[in-house]
Amino acid sequence: MVIAAVGLPLLLVATACGRPGPAGVPQETASSAPDLTQFHDQQLAFEPCAPYATTLADEALFANERFDCARMQVPLDYADPDGPRAEIALLRMKARGERIGSLVVNPGGPGGSGMGHVATMAPTLDPMPIGERFDVVGFDPRGVGATTPRVDCFTSAEDDRGDGFNGTLTPEDVPDARAAETIAQRCADSAGGEQALVHIGTRETVQDLDVLRAVLGDEQLSFLGYSYGTELGAVYAETFPDNLRAMLLDGAIDPELSGVEFTVSQAAGIQRAFDGMAAQCTSGPDCPLGTDPTRAVETYHALLRPLQDNPVPTTDGRALTYEDAVTGVFAGLYSEALWPVVLRGLSEVADGRGDILLALHDLYAQRGPDGHYGNMLESFRSIRCMDWPRRTPAEQADQLRQVREAAPIMDDGTPVTESYHECAAWPEPPSRTGPFVTGDVDVPPILVTSVTGDPATPHQGGINLARTLGGTLLTVDGAQHGIALLGQSPCVDQIATDYLIDLTLPPADARCEQ
């Protein structure tokens, strides 16, 4: 799982027709491409954003008068533009000065809300030159937030009981074929039917992105993508290279890894973050992980595994379960700035309370104070069901073994057993069959930023994506997931600004500190 938009740190820290495209993503020829004129020529009706809120957090964020919102019509199935439609919700913060165009932002996930991300980042982005020169636009991709189709497979009560999708890198617990069929049916019902569900994926969102470019009045797209947004952006670049002006990709998905390999690489990154946190903690007093960093994992398990049978109480009466505690720790490891929060949470568990780790879990899972969950985990799974191959029960078990080997902190002490893939009963097979980009298409100059100690999208992914796309890599020394234009590194933000506004790229060996 990739946290959207480096979501938790933000909350707590502040086609050119006929061109070859990504493997498994068919490209239209000039003679067969559907006519999308009616969608490109539509006029958006911008209005106040309050009606677009789907969570309590949105309600507060969207009240800002700097924002206006609209809904964009697109085909549900691009092969049938005269058929049913999807409706993409978007939020805009208009340029304060001389406008270059729109900067479209995707915060990652997949399943992250672009509307929520732009609203959250507005206090940082607005005073920047970016806020002066661009209309900053965030949209909710298919399956997400205020967009329809929207997928929401489980009730909030089920999520509270731990019956929904998990928020870590371990496979879902789907015991048999019937359970897989139930998941697929519930997700389809929530989205509006099977045809809606199978058109929630990266391929369709790339097409939506190009319609959005046209509807916003931009001849070429300027795009900022974090985490999964780097995958979305890369696919767009190879699908619509002539329609691209500038693309900044931050926290790259590695194009050379399969879905399983990428998940295992993330597990290794999370383990490195834990080891770094443990090294800092065990060298000081009162560390909940002990005094010996080589035994920190053992101490961690001794602290949390008892929660499997005996959750600890919390102020709101829900109690902290083992699964919720692990998710909270996992989320907090995405940024070095959050390590002290995780450690305080572990110390609290040692004292018999669970409020801090439960709060981290709730932020990750988008659970509001009203008990309502956002749908990021469900949209994440649904999008990946159409992007990644399905695994057999034996392959599920093998992935779990690999994850536990790469990240011992993810070993809950139970035997490895076979389970069904959560996508096993999806109505259609995945819409692509190979890497998300090929490197076979000439694309405009792209800037990739990558943090050396990124736990969620390891640095090698940034190196590989920049090489594949023929782009420029900006290496950032640090330990967090995502860095560009977050107001945390003046060096990075200046290079990003120069590129997006003036199309000026840094030297090939450029490097910044966090």
3-state secondary structure of 72: strand
Instruction: Say if residues 362 and 407 touch (Cβ distance below 8 Å).
Output: no
Instruction: Say if residues 443 and 237 touch (Cβ distance below 8 Å).
Output: yes
Instruction: Say if residues 56 and 175 touch (Cβ distance below 8 Å).
Output: no
| Distance linking the first and last C-alpha atoms of the chain | 23
Annotated active-site residue 454? The verdict is yes
Annotated active-site residue 40? The verdict is no
Distance of alpha carbon 242 from alpha carbon 21, whole angstroms: 13
Annotated active-site residue 31? The verdict is no
The catalytically annotated residue of 199, 481, 489, 493 is 481
Instruction: Say if residues 236 and 211 touch (Cβ distance below 8 Å).
Output: no
> In the β-sheet with 67-75, what is the strand arrangement from edge to edge?
67-75, 85-93, 134-139, 101-106, 221-226, 244-250, 447-451, 472-477, 511-513
Q: What does residue 226 show for φ and ψ, rounded to 5 degrees?
A: -110, 140
Parallel, antiparallel or unpaired: strands 85-93 and 67-75: antiparallel
Distance of alpha carbon 416 from alpha carbon 400, whole angstroms: 7
The catalytically annotated residue of 113, 190, 222, 227 is 227
Helices (H), 192-321: 194-197, 202-215, 228-239, 259-282, 296-304
Quick one: DSSP state of residue 461? Answer: H
Distance of alpha carbon 145 from alpha carbon 125, whole angstroms: 22
Cβ neighbours, 10 Å, residue 154: 20
CA 167 from chain center: how many Å? 12
3-state secondary structure of 342: helix
Instruction: Say if residues 190 and 153 touch (Cβ distance below 8 Å).
Output: yes
In DSSP terms, which residues pair with 137 in a beta bridge?
92, 104
- Residue 13's contacts (CB-CB under 8 Å, 6 or more residues apart) are 335, 337, 338, 488
The catalytically annotated residue of 454, 459, 489, 493 is 454
Q: What does residue 456 show for φ and ψ, rounded to 5 degrees?
A: -100, -35
Parallel, antiparallel or unpaired: strands 101-106 and 134-139: parallel
One-letter amino acid at 340 equals P
Parallel, antiparallel or unpaired: strands 134-139 and 85-93: antiparallel
Instruction: Say if residues 471 and 465 touch (Cβ distance below 8 Å).
Output: yes
* Burial state string for 337-374 with b = 16 or more CB within 10 A and e = fewer than 16: bbbebbbebbbbbeeebbbbbbbbbbbbbbbbeeeebb
Q: Which residues are catalytic?
A: 227, 454, 481
